[in-house]
Structure 1
Amino acid sequence: MDFNAGQRLNLPLNPSLSSATITGRNFPEQNCSKTVTFEEALVVVDDLVFTKTGRRLSEAEITVLKGTWNDCDYEEIAENSPYSLNYLQRRLAPQLWDVLSATIGNGERVYKKNLRNFLELVTPKKYHTQTAPSAKQVPPPPSNDSLQFIGGQPPDISSFYGRVQELADLEELVTKQRCISLIGVPGVGKSALAAKLIAILSVKSQPRFDYFLWKSVSHAPLVQDLVAELIEQIQTVEPSLNLNLPEYTQGRIAVLIKQLQSRRFLLVLDEFDALFQKNNFEQRLEYETFFRRLLEDQHESCLLLTGRVFPNEFDSLIRAKRSIQYIKIKGLDADAAMQLLAAQGLTNPQKCHDLIRTYSGNPLELETVGERINYFFGGNTEIFFENQTTFVSSEIEAMLDKMFTQVLSKIQRQIMIYLANEIASNSQPISFVKLLTNMNQRDKASLSTSKLVKALEKLERLSLLESIKHPITKEITFTLQPVIKKYILTDPQGFVHTSDALPTLAIAS
């Protein structure tokens, strides 16, 4: 999407709909219509699907549509694409026909034999010409002039998979909550989810917001500087709100709140947890006050925060029952993750499920391993799986480096090492009782229950371990993602096994 600062929010074509991508499939052109081209029909149906479902057509779906338009059977489509016949015909196509039936079927079933008729019917007459225009001449979908986007650059969401339920929940929450916080490990897709939500909200016939404002705060600016920047960005689209900027921080916050009261903003602060990571107590306190005022003062705007960690400073706001919702974002579900891997040419169901399990559906991790398979193994998944290893991405490694050097206490580090060793030995989650008993025996000390509970709560909050509750016994067990387990056991930088930590037992492959 094109999120240029100070410009209107348009909904341009999915980058995967470029002429290079569409014509790159070697499908023979058959029975070509003289009144409408495939590219023109695709522009329209992609926009209709986006309006209906909140997502664009994937490259694999476009491949099936292009082949169907040219009267190719599934075998021909698979031969001229990176996807397997089984994936296209058995998994993707039935879901695609369901989506199109609900979108353009007008009460009838859309399927392979009648698809072209439906595509030509839904294409507006303005596209129908005797000489088909080139792809560059196809006009983009109409923009919604009532909405504007200001601020920074959100992530690209042209390749966005799944998250249907999360997006539905967020759509509802932005109408009820003053603040929503999306928390999760690096690469899990927090920022992409926020950008996707904006794309969906921007095409609503009755928009909830007047403006969308995106601001990355990973550089941890001072409170007064951040507030001043937000005020200036709002004034670029609302010059009538050109109020004098007070010298002091609290005065500036008051001006910002007046702006949020005058118009309805969805204000995204990306990587907001960086604001609380500095060891500057006064600055942390100022930011706590800043967010408290935004939550307590009356306005119709909404804050959407993304970060790796939910700051302790927000606990008091939750206890005070302020309008704030904390959501922990996990990896993609199996179907969405399979679509992501299929787009990279990985289509072996069992092997792909192994990868999804190893990387917990983390889209960045899956994209990274897919790129490495294609680069180092020439896309030959069989060779890779014969020599399979677990990759730790630079983003995850940097995060864990910081955790083990700056964040985790001695007890928390020992818990992580113990879990990694135990899981490497027997592959089973560890119960709370076993964890308490064995750590005391190994450490030859008395670890109180309360200290262990607090340490585990902190580790869960940091998304470093996962808890599992047995559906019948209700017993809690703990485990680690394979990527985190490998980092601990291999200790690439020597940050894990310090003199006060427990010894390792094994090295992961």
Structure 2
Amino acid sequence: MNLKEVLKLADDLVFARTGKHLNDLQETILRGTWEDEDYKEIANGVHRSEDRVREVGMELWQILSQELGEKVSKSNFRASMERLQISVVSHLEQHHNRIGSFNICGESRHPPDIPNLHPPNQETTNSKQTKISHQDLSEMPELGAFYDRTPELDTLTTWILQQRCRLIAIAGISGIGKTTLAVQLVQQIKDEFEYVIWCSLESSPTLDEFQHKLIEFFSQSEKLDSPATNQKPLPLIKYLQKSRCLIVLDDVHHLFSKNELAGKYKPGYEEYRSFFKQIEKLSHQSCFLLIGWEQPREITQIESQNPIVRTLQVTGLDIVAAREILKDYRLAEIDNCEELIHRYQGNPLWIKSVATLIKELGGCVTELLLDDTILLPENLKDVLEEQFDRLSELEKQVLSLLAKESEPVNLAKLLENGRMRSTDLLNALQSLSRRCLIEQQGSFYTLSPVLREYIKGL
């Protein structure tokens, strides 16, 4: 098996899993791995840091592992590819009379080394041929290293495929893994839909612009299916009723105003309120998945009354999954490993940020982790600053009060210390809770150690 064949096979597998071809760095890592180069040698050859090459490599092995259904790593990559080629050749020889129904490339959902190639009956074959799936995942981020989120994936899959929820919000603080979770989910369930599209709202499209984009996607796909027809595009709701569609809205917080309580629409974007209510009220068979630091207020208002509207608040990874991050940085055996994970609340981005700092300083920083020291690398502070810049002055005032307390405090003490109206305090606490910036323990409120340390430094 030559290198060209290996790269083609790996590219097919990555495309089947992510919808994207190998990028230059991924291809370079595969070349180097095939030629028995270590990460340092590969990094020197492309003038990149060893840590960056290692991170991309880990993500690549995970993608290949998911697609092949077996553990793929740098050490067994060659053996995995050779076994795969032998399996493919064997299956092709055994089933040459129906080779047209077998395709290792493109949208094949099962790895070709799984021996499940019994001749399909005619009814199944016809069914698969008539179901055409149109997918636009060009704005979906690449799936990085994915750490176990089985309960969350199971919950979302149940809501979408079994309970047929129409509107689902994925909420959580920055870095917790909302988008990564959504990417993994889409990869797992996308073939259950006739239309799948991932839309980033980072550019803050107006409702008209957003609806036009969706209608264009649906209408162009219809023309591909029936090129002879020249029908006018339908209203958006008609497409949602006519077909089973999955629409992902990423960075939904860009629809809302900065320096206001969570979920207040920017001027000119108020029509989204009616749009989301229509998605909930009107009868259709599609699902909208919303991802962002803030969510529309109307979702929270109608969620308790309507089971087809749901919110999933993403929390930190458990100890086992978070340890996998530290293993990638060769830090899983440091003293107080579990305490570090707990201190940073299992937040993948926070843990990676601290792990990078420890690695770059040669591990000497681990001595500081023996006490209650909270390390705040600059890139972690940048992430927090981006979210804190969105807060209202009232929310910032409440966070400052909470940062001064080492123990959870109740409303009475916050009112006494803050000297603000009870209505203002309650509204601020509700907004901070929706942003996942505060923790509630019964009638008491507190901050995570990381946020407390950050706010003290402002």
Aligned partners of 2:252 and 2:295 also within 8 Å:
no
Structure 1 equivalent of residue 193 of structure 2: 209
Distance 2:437 2:312 in 1: 16
CA shift, 1:349, in A, is: 5.0
List aligned pairs for 1:261-300, cutoff 5 A: 261-277=241-257, 283-300=268-285
Q: What letter matches 2:189 in structure 1?
A: L
Structure 2 equivalent of residue 82 of structure 1: none
Deviations 1:435-479 (A, max 9, x none): 523651x45x4754x6544432222111111123xxxxxx44332
- 1:303–1:65 distance in 2 versus 1, CA, 3 Å: same
Aligned partners of 2:168 and 2:311 also within 8 Å:
yes
Q: What letter matches 2:327 in structure 1?
A: A
User: Where does structure 1 lack aligned partners over 5 or more consecutive residues?
Assistant: 27-42, 70-115, 130-138, 246-253, 424-428, 469-474, 492-509
Aligned partners of 1:269 and 1:303 also within 8 Å:
yes
Structure 2 equivalent of residue 196 of structure 1: 184
Deviations 1:345-398 (A, max 9, x none): 222254432332232222222222223333x31xx32x0223562333312112
Distance 1:8 1:333 in 2: 25
Distance 1:393 1:291 in 2: 33
Aligned partners of 1:9 and 1:149 also within 8 Å:
no
TM-score normalised to structure 1 length = 0.63
CA shift, 1:212, in A, is: 1.4
TM-score normalised to structure 2 length = 0.69
Structure 2 equivalent of residue 171 of structure 1: 157
Q: 2:341 aligns with which of 356, 361, 370?
A: 356
Identity percentage of aligned residues? 26
Distance 1:23 1:336 in 2: 31
User: Where does structure 2 lack aligned partners over 5 or more consecutive residues?
Assistant: 1-9, 39-59, 94-102, 109-128, 259-263, 370-374
Aligned partners of 2:409 and 2:446 also within 8 Å:
no
Structure 2 equivalent of residue 436 of structure 1: 412
Q: What letter matches 2:366 in structure 1?
A: F
List aligned pairs for 1:225-236, cutoff 5 A: 225-236=209-220
List aligned pairs for 1:96-495, cutoff 5 A: 123-126=87-90, 143-144=107-108, 146-175=132-161, 176-202=164-190, 207-239=191-223, 244=232, 255-277=235-257, 283-318=268-303, 320-321=305-306, 323-374=308-359, 376-377=360-361, 380-381=362-363, 383-387=364-368, 389-391=375-377, 392-403=380-391, 407-409=392-394, 412-423=395-406, 429-432=407-410, 435-437=411-413, 439-440=415-416, 442-443=417-418, 445=419, 448=422, 452-468=425-441, 475-491=442-458
Q: What letter matches 1:257 in structure 2?
A: I
Distance 1:44 1:365 in 2: 23
- 1:238–1:156 distance in 2 versus 1, CA, 3 Å: same
Q: What letter matches 1:490 in structure 2?
A: G
Supply the RMSD in Å over aligned alpha carbons: 4.0
- 1:22–1:181 distance in 2 versus 1, CA, 3 Å: farther
Aligned partners of 2:167 and 2:288 also within 8 Å:
yes
Distance 2:295 2:11 in 1: 30
Aligned partners of 1:288 and 1:314 also within 8 Å:
no
Distance 1:223 1:154 in 2: 20
Deviations 1:386-445 (A, max 9, x none): 356233331211211332xxx241xx333312221222xxxxx4142xx523651x45x4
Deviations 1:226-246 (A, max 9, x none): 11111112233222597546x
